[in-house]
Amino acid sequence: MENLSFIGIGSNLESRMMYIQKALELLEEDPNINIIKLSSIYETKPYGYTDQDNFLNCVVKISTKYSLIELFIKTKSIEIEIGRVKREKWGPREIDLDILFFNDVVYCDEKLNIPHRDVLYRDFVLVPLLEIEPYIFHPVEKKKISELEIKNLEVNIIRKLDYIKV
């Protein structure tokens, strides 16, 4: 069975575009994952801990044969393969892959919340998500995201970039 998922990808260390490109390549190389659509890349101000370099962020829409937990394990293994180092919460990172939505699943445990608990509060996730899927349904809010009243949209976004392979 194919599952539909949206993954937020971000980086703010060293060659940010190279890290994002590598994450996309590793997703694409997996026979259990098919990339359907990629948003634009957005340069954004840091969120939470603000004394750090700007991020590059995007969202990718995929279909996958993985279950939610298998996909979570896969995204964490991609982060490790790329060289992510664990630092303070919201701190600098080589790469970050967050599962934003997985079908219409609502799931919560100590490591994973689906839909991602902050998806409605982070413009650097919402704007690229709405770019590629404007009518996505939020299973907790029981509405399409485009129908929700969202405040402070684009407060962290600096500019939209073209995706260029490095």
Catalytic residues: 84, 93, 96, 98
The torsion angles phi and psi of 6, rounded to 5 degrees, stand at -125, 130
CA–CA separation, 109 and 123 (whole Å): 24
Which residues have C-beta within 8 Å of that of residue 151, sequence separation ≥ 6? Answer: none
Interhelix angle 16-29/68-82, rounded to 10 degrees, is: 140
Q: Could you tell me if 69 and 16 are in contact, meaning their C-beta atoms sit under 8 angstroms apart?
A: no
Q: Kindly list the distances between the CA atom of residue 28 and the CA atoms of 36, 45, 124, in Å, as whole numbers in the listed order.
A: 10, 28, 23
Map tokens 């949206």 to a residue.
Answer: 6
CA–CA separation, 111 and 109 (whole Å): 6
Closest CA to 133 of 115, 109, 106: 115
**Token digits of residue 63:** 């279909």
